[in-house]
A and B are shown apart, each in its own frame.
Chain A
Amino acid sequence: MVRGASLLVALLLLWPASPWAQPSPLVARLSTERVAITTAFVGESILVFGSTEEPLGPGGDEVIIVARGPAGPFVVRRKVEVLGMWFNGPSARFEDVPSFYAVAGTRPASLLLPEDALRARGIGLASLPLASSGARAPGFRHALVSLKQSGNLWQEDAQPIEIAGSRLFNLRLPLPSTVQPGSYSVEVMLVRARRVVATEQLGFVIQRVGTAAEIESLARGQPALYALICIILAALAGWLGSVLFRRN
């Protein structure tokens, strides 16, 4: 109830911004544009919401939302048995892998668009252009997808976009505590007759703040200073603790 009310307030606030003369077929916003990783960070969820001009739902328009996190290279390793023990064996390196990826639709996206359109726009885990080098077995790509999915970092149709009153839609996007800091993009697409007729590009930033940010930047920027601080703090803590807890 509270969520619905806040959504309504948000939409009312947003309403004057959209031009009355030329109503756009799709308006979408995010509940926040900045997610802070503090020392108490346990994950977060972000709300994607908006409205369409034409009614949504079966027989009408459909909406697809795709969210992407910062991309980078990842290595997938396969364990092999050597002398009865399990070691990391062959590996495949994947370039430009999004650290976070989520896709959701008012219905599963694969039912809404033809396959070439899905592939061209990179919608759905099957359409991710995961170029690999190293061991060339299809198992590696499959393993990457399933490991990312089990960590909740890649989500495909985890839950459908909710429709309210046939023109309002919203999707709660869960971000696990392991999300990488960086810029995230959110693409909202309006689908009519198996074609994308309007898109809205949104974005948010995940950044470390407070103590967590200071520790991380010091450790990265001035590792020697950080190391000395670690040594001194550990020694002080050990000495102080033994004074406090002395039992004689």
Chain B
Amino acid sequence: MQIYLPIAEMSVDALMLVGIGFVVGWLSGLFGVGGGFLLTPVLMLIGIPSTVAVASGANQTLGASVSGLIAQARRQNVDWQMGGVLVAGGLVGSVVGVQIFAMLRRAGQVDAAVAIFYVVVLGAVGTLMMMESIRAIFRRSRKQQARRHNHSWAHGLPLKMRFRKSRLYISIIPPLAVGFVIGILSAIMGVGGGFMLVPAMIYILGMPTAVVIGTSLFQVVCVTASVTFLQAIQVGGVDIVLTLLLLLGGVAGAQFGAAMGGKLRGEETRALLGLLVLGVAGSLFWDLLRVPQTLFSVGPAW
């Protein structure tokens, strides 16, 4: 069933979009991530212009994260205070990110730049995930306990604030910086950034794992909303028809994935997620390296 996307100005198969949404939703439910880092590259692969893929990917991640945030908030697993600091950094980051994106579009370098961001960020995160989970699997086999406390350099900076829910007394500079960086990446890559935010909250901020998921979802919902707003105003790439079709499949897939994810062990799940992240990075890197089929491209001038 073909449907005309009013902003992308092209006709695509609606069932294929729902199917893509379902598969990405299933994987994101399985691994407990938003799935934006899978969705945006797949959209570009099927020929959606990268400006529309990034903006609509952020919009879809917003929708996919809302129900998770509500569930976590009900279970009181959100540190609103820490979330507020992260969001403050994230909002500034998303503004900066959309300016960078608009500048790249004027220079005609959006496709290559988005691909490079994906390769670098996903490559680094995927490698870290793999290393961490392999180490964890080995540790388990040696029956050793992991360290409970993580006192990092982040605890020695000024502007300290007490976060009761996270039982932390740390400077607000690290969470602001983390939020800022995730905000930039969210705007350029069309992702929520949960897969980078969660490790940053555990290892850099030293937050207890119980509140990490809920708090990261709070940041993801706020920042993707901001990215959607700014992209729609400045670049005009948010296609609501595309977003809603992806969400239709995505929310169904996420429930099935989450049900299945409960049966997997944490370390294996993280190793699989790391493999998936590295796979996406690898295929985008290959696209950058290989000689393009057509050297020329044409587009309307602005």
Q: How many A-B residue pairs have CB under 8 A?
A: 186
Closest B residue, CB atoms, query A213: B6
> Assuming A88-B112, A215-B6, A245-B254, what are 4 further A-B pairs, CB within 8 angstroms?
A75-B301, A88-B108, A88-B111, A226-B232
Closest A residue, CB atoms, query B111: A88
> Does residue B199 face the partner (Cβ distance < 8 Å to A)?
no
> Does residue A30 face the partner (Cβ distance < 8 Å to B)?
no
CB pair B59–A85 under 8 Å, yes or no, is no
Q: In the docked arrangement, what's the CA distance between A73 and B299, Å?
A: 9
Known A74-B298, A74-B301, A241-B251; contact A233-B240, beta-carbon cutoff 8 A: yes
In the complex, per-residue mask of B272-302: 1 if CB is within 8 Å of any chain A CB, else 0: 0000000000000000111110111111110
CB pair B2–A227 under 8 Å, yes or no, is no
Q: Which B residues are in CB contact (< 8 Å) with A220?
A: 236
The smallest C-beta distance from A10 to any residue of chain B, in angstroms, reads 28
Known A143-B298, A215-B241, A219-B232; contact A235-B63, beta-carbon cutoff 8 A: yes
CB pair A86–B291 under 8 Å, yes or no, is yes
CB pair B251–A242 under 8 Å, yes or no, is yes
Known A42-B11, A219-B236, A223-B232; contact A139-B296, beta-carbon cutoff 8 A: yes
Number of interface residues of A (CB under 8 A): 61
> Does residue A158 face the partner (Cβ distance < 8 Å to B)?
no
CB pair B251–A245 under 8 Å, yes or no, is yes
Residues facing B in A189-248 (CB within 8 A) are 208, 211-213, 215-216, 219-220, 223-224, 226-231, 233-235, 237-247
CB pair B63–A237 under 8 Å, yes or no, is yes
Known A77-B297, A79-B297, A241-B248; contact A234-B4, beta-carbon cutoff 8 A: no
Q: Which B residues are in CB contact (< 8 Å) with A245?
A: 251-252, 254-255
Q: Which B residues are in CB contact (< 8 Å) with A86?
A: 112, 288-292
Q: Which B residues are in CB contact (< 8 Å) with A139?
A: 296
Q: In the docked arrangement, what's the CA distance between A36 and B260, Å?
A: 46
CB pair A85–B112 under 8 Å, yes or no, is yes
In the complex, per-residue mask of A36-60: 1 if CB is within 8 Å of any chain B CB, else 0: 0111111100000000000000000
Closest A residue, CB atoms, query B108: A88
> Which residues of B approach A to under 8 Å, CB–CB?
2-4, 6-7, 9-11, 59-60, 62-68, 70-71, 108-109, 111-112, 116, 221, 225, 228-229, 232-233, 236, 238, 240-241, 243-244, 247-248, 250-252, 254-256, 259, 288-292, 294-301
Closest A residue, CB atoms, query B249: A241
Q: Report which residue of A88, A93, A211, A233 has the largest number of chain B beta carbons within 10 angstroms of its beta carbon.
A: A88
CB pair A234–B70 under 8 Å, yes or no, is no
CB pair B241–A39 under 8 Å, yes or no, is yes
CB pair B297–A238 under 8 Å, yes or no, is no
Q: Which A residues are in CB contact (< 8 Å) with B233?
A: 223-224, 227
The smallest C-beta distance from B210 to any residue of chain A, in angstroms, reads 20
A sample of 19 cross-chain residue pairs with beta-carbon separation below 8 angstroms, ordered by A number, consists of A41-B4, A72-B300, A74-B298, A75-B298, A86-B289, A147-B298, A178-B10, A180-B9, A219-B7, A224-B229, A224-B233, A230-B228, A238-B65, A238-B66, A241-B251, A242-B68, A245-B254, A247-B255, A247-B259
Q: In the docked arrangement, what's the CA distance between A176 and B116, Å?
A: 33
Q: Which A residues are in CB contact (< 8 Å) with B256?
A: 247
Option from B6, B248, B259, B291 in Cβ contact (under 8 Å) with A39: B6
Closest B residue, CB atoms, query A41: B4
- Please give me the 7 A-B residue pairs with the lowest Cβ-Cβ distance, nearest first: A241-B251, A242-B67, A238-B63, A234-B63, A143-B296, A227-B232, A177-B11
Q: In the docked arrangement, what's the CA distance between A177 and B60, Å?
A: 25
> Does residue A76 face the partner (Cβ distance < 8 Å to B)?
yes
CB pair A40–B4 under 8 Å, yes or no, is yes
Q: In the docked arrangement, what's the CA distance between A141 and B172, Å?
A: 56
> Does residue A136 face the partner (Cβ distance < 8 Å to B)?
no
Q: In the docked arrangement, what's the CA distance between A73 and B60, Å?
A: 32
Q: Which A residues are in CB contact (< 8 Å) with B240?
A: 215, 226, 229-230, 233-234
CB pair A212–B4 under 8 Å, yes or no, is yes
> Does residue A34 face the partner (Cβ distance < 8 Å to B)?
no
